[in-house]
Structure 1
Amino acid sequence: MNDPQIFQAPEPRGSRSWIDSYLPQNQMVHHQPRQKLIDMAAVRGVIFRQRWLIAGIIIAAVVTGLIVTLLATPMYEARSTVRVEPYASYIVEGQNVDQGIAPSQVFQQLNTYVGIITSRNLANVVAEQKNLGERTDFLGPNIDESRPENMSDAQWLDAKQKMAAAKLHRSVSSEFPTNNWIITIVYRSEDPQIAAEMANAYSDAFVASDTKDTIAENEYAKEYLREQIQLVRGRLEEAEQAANGYARRSGIIVQTGQDEFGASGQTLTSSNLASINTRVAAATADRIAAEQRWRSVQSVPASQLPEVQSNQALQTLISDRTLKETELTDLRQRYNDEFPQIGNVRAQIETLNRQINRSSSDIKASVRNEYIVARNRENALRQELSDLTGATLAEQDRQVEYSVLEREAGALRLQLQALLARFNQVSTATDIQSGTINPLDTAIAPGSPYSPNLLRNMLMSIVFGIAFAGALAVLRELLDDRVRSLDDVEERLGLPLLGHTPFVEDEDIGTEGRNRFGSLMESYASIRSTIDFALPRDRNVIQLTSSEASEGKSTTAIILAELFASLGRKTLLIDADMRRPSLAGLIDVKDPEYGFVEVLLGHTDLESAVIKGVHENLEILPIRELPTNPSEILSSKQLRDFIDKYREEYSLIIFDAPPVLGLADAPALAGMVDGSIFVLEANRVRFSQAKVAIRRLQSAGGNVFGTVLTKYRALEAGQSYNYNYDYYQYGKSK
């Protein structure tokens, strides 16, 4: 049928099922989102909302950076390097009389060098060496024009010299080395030739300032070493004479050789003891091996010994016996034992057996003889060891004093040797002089200026622009209290979000309303199901209000009424905005003869005033005449009686109430209905304004059980561009 409705609601999905009676009523579960350190959606939303501001500031910063770069004076930078050797460069042994600094102080020393390079003192030295006070190419061609009238030539020259030194001090810098011992000297000037000249002058002056007089230090070292050599030499002579005299008196004979202190080696007696002790140990090992061998073969038949079985001569005899036994067996098969040839073969076999037994016994006896010989040799050596041990013990008592004398002489020998070696090194290095700082690379005139750097300045301008734009955008966002995202609605208002609708242009609302699978109708269907779940059936009178006009409140009321009616629920939609009614205009019907005010005042009955035919099960009660006292009417007893009268007749009654702020209408109505739905327009209403409106409703006794966010822009809230499409087109074929 051709109903005059402007929105096509989804098809009814059946009546209330048996399982609905087990579902909880009026219980909203509030999801507590996990707090994030950085909310990327909020960041994207700020960037999108402030995009024109951010883009404008960045462009202005880039243009400013470009202008400053083009107008800046070109500056040239020259670099020279010097190599630092903290422990000096030693050509020969003996130059390192001064040990220099400790390894842990190397970086402190390098930092000191950097401070010397950038000091005013070195700047004065360079200025004097280059006579910069008289050079107009360094101070400028117009320097003499600034000369005071009462200053003499000498004073003016001295003043220019100080100005040149000050300019040097301002223009020079040094880079501290972090992973090497190379210091870079940097000089900046408007003239590339002067930049290279001054960098090299600084390098030469710095190297010259570090020159050391090592000759005097080496002379002092030589004199000291000469005195020590004479003293140690006399003491060594006395120590050697005392050691030799004691050894002669005690009969101690020391073999050739020295220990680590230069003392003589072992005595003859101790050397013989060590030798015999080694031989006793070897003889004991041989005896043990021979004894173990004899014990293992003592009870074994001689024929089973490995030596017997591996003896080539015995194996030959055994082979001959086997042949003779074979021959005897063949003869016995043809003759008897009286046959002469059989007797000869038997005699040969007996002879071979005797030879085999005798050889086997000899081999076994040899194993026993080896054991006896090893035992006797061990006994003899042990006796000799016992004799030498006694002699060595007697000699050790005499050797204690000799060792003390000999070690003292050996220590003096090492000391004298070290002193002589050091004296020779210092003598060789006396006339050699080297510093710890040496020039490495000289500076060359730069071919291009280091400043201004267009790329660097553009990058800095972009970074500065982004930083300034970001700070300004954040400041604007902090001062902007408007409703943006879905999460903020629940967190800041303390009310559950029943749903949200996407932003639709005014001219597209009709088209979107007729598309029951469109994003707009799907969002309202979701809101309808949430309200149906939250609102008990016995509390069926609600109002829709907002903080101010044109937030989508009336549109939301019409669509929700049609959606509830499409489910088979008899719905009454009442235009309660007695100041600016809009329902009749939205559903595009002619002005009715009677309206809501006439029904309340008893001028007509409800049946004569409602508009039917917009949608099945939906009746609309518009406003006909605007009263002069809307607040009194909405708080009157007639309205309360009206609600009580028609509550049972309709499954749902929806009041399209006026905005809250500045009016008493909506708060008055809130105390009479079962619940209020607060409608907010995204990116327009401020949270402070919404909180005041909700507080007024609640102060009047109203039950605000949820909010609806209209005209929601996903990009404004930081969501992706296709957020609405993906969310509301779920299940639709792509």
Structure 2
Amino acid sequence: MNDKYINSQVDQEINIADYLRIMIHYKWLIIFVFGLIFILTAVYTMMLPNIYSASSRILIEEKNGNDMFFSPSSFSNTTINNTVEILKSRPVMDVAVEILKKNKDFSSFPIFLSLSPKYEILANIKVEKKRETNVLAISYESTDPKEAQAIVDAAAEALMRENTSYARLELTNIRDFLEKNLDTITRRLRNSEEDLRRYKLNNGITELSSETKQIIENSSRIESMLEESQTDMQIASQRLLFLKNELSKQDSLILDVNSILTSPFLSQLRTNVVSSQARLAKLLINKNYDSDHPEIRSLTQEIENAKQKLNDEVKRIVAVKVGSSDPLIYRSDLIEQIAKIQIELNVAKTKYGSLVKVREDYDKKMTLLPDTELELARKTRTYRMNEKVYSLLVEKYEDAKISEQAKMGNIRLIEKAALPGKPIKPKKKMNLFIGFVLGLGAGIGLALLLHSLDTRLRTLDDIDNYVNLPIVGTIPFIDSKELDLDKVEKEISKSNGKQKNNLIASHKMMISRLITHYDPKSPVSESYRTLRTNILAKYPDKKCVTMLITSSGPKEGKSTTISNLAIALSQMDSKVCLIDLDMRRPMLHTLFNVEKESGASDYLVDKTTSLDEVIFSTEISNLDLITSGYIPPNPSELISSARLDELIKKLKERYDFILIDSPPIIAVTDALILAKKVDLMSLVVRIGATDRNIIRRTKEILDNVRVNIAGVIVNGIEVKKYYSGYGNYYYYYYYYYRDSEDGKIEKRKR
């Protein structure tokens, strides 16, 4: 006997056919789970609200090298990431909400009901960078398509406003400064004009000498240039203060501004600019030189060239000391701008100092005038100076306003959000497909799980792998259709008398599934004949064969199997005796429709009972039956008694085959005792009912008492569901023998 099964787990290779068989077996479970999940998915999908998505695109432009904030060297992914974070900041969202509130449909938007629209937008707005571009896509999802469109447009507009406001910040500061000074100089001009008018009226003086007029003209021009120079200094100081404030926001300076300003070459260039500026100031006050004079134009061009050299040198030094690939390039841009403006401020201070000295010379000349003419000259000079300064400030103020309005941010809206036409969610087809896959997968998975937890033997392969015993017979599941019960019942209704009684008895036995007698040409009957052949092959020359048919547990069909096998043996004209030694739950008397009294237990207990008294002749030719008799209190003792050995010995003298039905092995020891008294023993295993752990324990028990098992009889195979050679065999046999139902019934009548 092969003991591998008992000591080790059998590794099985599951093929596609096995999976198909499992799915067919659990088909209703799979259909239920699949239908449940698919229906739930469909209901959930239909209940979801439609979600619409709107998107717009903005471009972050690269500025030229003169822009202090976005030079080509500093434009990078960091700039784009900063823009994304700025867009998602609360200040920008505040502006976006204010823009959104101006929408005429705002009150109908779902966000109108939100306690905090700003935070709801922040939580749901999405910003995505397009690969290899400086384009950002802004998108928003909402149940209202108009709301999605409005929020995206509002967010883009708010970002551009904030970007433009930041880009204009320096120019805005300059404009505010000029506006404040313009108010001051306007009041000064009015006051000086009123003082001059009153002085002329009070003193009766209306005209000055030509020499005095020239002095006043030159002096007022110097005062105007002084005021302009002072204004330039103040503007430069404002810009310098702004840039230093920007620089102070950084963690630390990577370059000292003074190290740039103290560069020898820069000092020389600055000296040249200051010298040229002083010479230009002297020429401008000379009446022989007008603004279009070649020397003045040449000197002006020289000063511009020197300033350009200063800017270029500052850039070069910053680039050398910082490096264009430095992640802190923004700081270097700030330092560069600070250095440039510091130089401009120094030049303006030098120019202012030179003009102050020239003004002092004219003040000395004016002191030589008569007192009355001197006072008139001073008031006239003050008025003209204020007038020129006013004109200058008005011009600069208008220029500042134009520059401020012309200054744009580096963000451009390249595509506004379009009104969504179709919802993007829920994706009904995708959800249904996912539900289909999940439902099917869950159903199949649950089926495989239950199959893996199911320890019952379900196929012949399971028998081979787990039982590891030869299969001496395979018995298909006996369907009531095979027994033609309906047709027999019709015959009973048409008959009467003795024939009717016989048909009633036959009907009862058909219900008892003695199919080898009532339907001998059925595939099931053929399977019993195959079992008969396999058993006869083991003892071809033996005069009398005793065999025990048992099972590992109850309800595996051992009584039906042994009864049909006994009928199959009797059909060979062999004398067969069927003994029911299951004295605990006897069944054979019920199958053959006889009384169980006066049976085996009576013979074993009462020595006066003769053998003929317990043998019943059945209506089946050559088949006799010994029932269990009354149920004794000690079945095991009776079975192990010498009286049973004597019974079997006497029966061997009368019969060719003695078949014994016993209780299951796991339940009691009766079958183990009987196994020692017979020639062969077979186990009935019911497909789909017998537990492989129980059958393994049964084998261990039989091996312990050294019982030789002839093989197993596989019972309850559903041919139509089991795809194997056996199934094909029964299929062919069915159509070979069962081609005419009417013919079969007629044969029974004869």
Please report the TM-score for the alignment, with normalisation by the length of structure 2.
0.50
Shift of 1:444: 1.4
Structure 1 residues 540 and 181, CA gap change in structure 2 (3 angstroms):
farther
The residue number in structure 2 matching 1:64 is: 40
- The whole-number CA distance in structure 1 between the counterparts of 2:59 and 2:15 is 53
List gaps (5 residues or longer) in structure 2: 65-70, 168-307, 317-406, 484-509, 740-750
List gaps (5 residues or longer) in structure 1: 1-25, 91-96, 147-162, 214-218, 228-432
Shift of 1:557: 0.7
The residue number in structure 2 matching 1:492 is: 466
Alignment of 1:358-369 (within 5 A): none
Question: Which residue among 96, 101, 110 is the counterpart of 1:130?
Answer: 96
The residue number in structure 2 matching 1:689 is: 694
The residue number in structure 2 matching 1:520 is: 524
Shift of 1:612: 4.7
Q: Is the 8 A contact 2:618 2:625 kept in 1?
A: no
Q: In the alignment, is residue 140 of structure 1 matched against residue 111 of structure 2?
A: yes
Structure 1 residues 116 and 654, CA gap change in structure 2 (3 angstroms):
farther
Q: Is the 8 A contact 1:670 1:700 kept in 2?
A: no
- The whole-number CA distance in structure 2 between the counterparts of 1:640 and 1:714 is 41
Shift of 1:556: 0.9
- The whole-number CA distance in structure 2 between the counterparts of 1:221 and 1:179 is 37
- The whole-number CA distance in structure 1 between the counterparts of 2:474 and 2:310 is 95
Q: Look up the SS of the partner of 1:545 in the other structure.
A: strand
2:464 maps to a residue whose letter is E
The residue number in structure 2 matching 1:55 is: 31
Q: In the alignment, is residue 196 of structure 1 matched against residue 158 of structure 2?
A: no
- The whole-number CA distance in structure 2 between the counterparts of 1:689 and 1:711 is 18
The residue number in structure 2 matching 1:421 is: none
Structure 1 residues 80 and 578, CA gap change in structure 2 (3 angstroms):
same
Structure 1 residues 598 and 128, CA gap change in structure 2 (3 angstroms):
closer
The residue number in structure 2 matching 1:672 is: 677
Structure 1 residues 449 and 688, CA gap change in structure 2 (3 angstroms):
same
The residue number in structure 1 matching 2:19 is: 43
Structure 1 residues 438 and 619, CA gap change in structure 2 (3 angstroms):
farther
Q: In the alignment, is residue 727 of structure 1 matched against residue 729 of structure 2?
A: yes
Q: In the alignment, is residue 74 of structure 1 matched against residue 45 of structure 2?
A: no
Shift of 1:460: 3.5
Please report the TM-score for the alignment, with normalisation by the length of structure 1.
0.51
- The whole-number CA distance in structure 1 between the counterparts of 2:539 and 2:628 is 27
Q: Is the 8 A contact 2:567 2:623 kept in 1?
A: yes
Q: Look up the SS of the partner of 2:88 in the other structure.
A: helix
Q: Is the 8 A contact 1:518 1:728 kept in 2?
A: no
Q: Is the 8 A contact 2:63 2:72 kept in 1?
A: no
Shift of 1:132: 4.6
The residue number in structure 2 matching 1:173 is: 126
1:79 maps to a residue whose letter is S
- The whole-number CA distance in structure 2 between the counterparts of 1:434 and 1:728 is 91
1:58 maps to a residue whose letter is F
Query: Can you list the C-alpha shifts for 1:71-94, whole angstroms capped at 9, x where unaligned?
Result: 433321123456899xx899xxxx
- The whole-number CA distance in structure 2 between the counterparts of 1:220 and 1:605 is 141
Query: Can you list the C-alpha shifts for 1:441-464, whole angstroms capped at 9, x where unaligned?
Result: 543121233333444443333444
Shift of 1:604: 4.7
The residue number in structure 2 matching 1:5 is: none
- The whole-number CA distance in structure 2 between the counterparts of 1:193 and 1:719 is 62
Alignment of 1:546-585 (within 5 A): 546-567=551-572, 569-585=574-590
Q: Look up the SS of the partner of 1:690 in the other structure.
A: helix
1:76 maps to a residue whose letter is Y
Alignment of 1:623-662 (within 5 A): 623-643=628-648, 646-647=651-652, 650-662=655-667
Shift of 1:192: 0.9
The residue number in structure 1 matching 2:420 is: 446
Higher helix share: 2
Shift of 1:186: 3.4
- The whole-number CA distance in structure 2 between the counterparts of 1:83 and 1:607 is 112
Aligned residues: 465
- The whole-number CA distance in structure 2 between the counterparts of 1:65 and 1:502 is 42
- The whole-number CA distance in structure 1 between the counterparts of 2:133 and 2:574 is 87
- The whole-number CA distance in structure 2 between the counterparts of 1:706 and 1:67 is 56
Shift of 1:687: 2.7
Q: Is the 8 A contact 1:574 1:620 kept in 2?
A: yes
Q: Is the 8 A contact 1:592 1:609 kept in 2?
A: no
Alignment of 1:232-247 (within 5 A): none
1:730 maps to a residue whose letter is Y
2:30 maps to a residue whose letter is I
1:72 maps to a residue whose letter is L
Shift of 1:222: 11
Shift of 1:567: 4.4
- The whole-number CA distance in structure 2 between the counterparts of 1:451 and 1:209 is 33
Shift of 1:520: 1.1
The residue number in structure 2 matching 1:3 is: none
Structure 1 residues 169 and 595, CA gap change in structure 2 (3 angstroms):
same
- The whole-number CA distance in structure 1 between the counterparts of 2:444 and 2:133 is 41
Structure 1 residues 587 and 188, CA gap change in structure 2 (3 angstroms):
same
Q: Larger RCO: Structure 1 or Structure 2 (Cα < 8 Å, ≥ 6 residues apart)? A: 1
Q: Look up the SS of the partner of 1:130 in the other structure.
A: helix
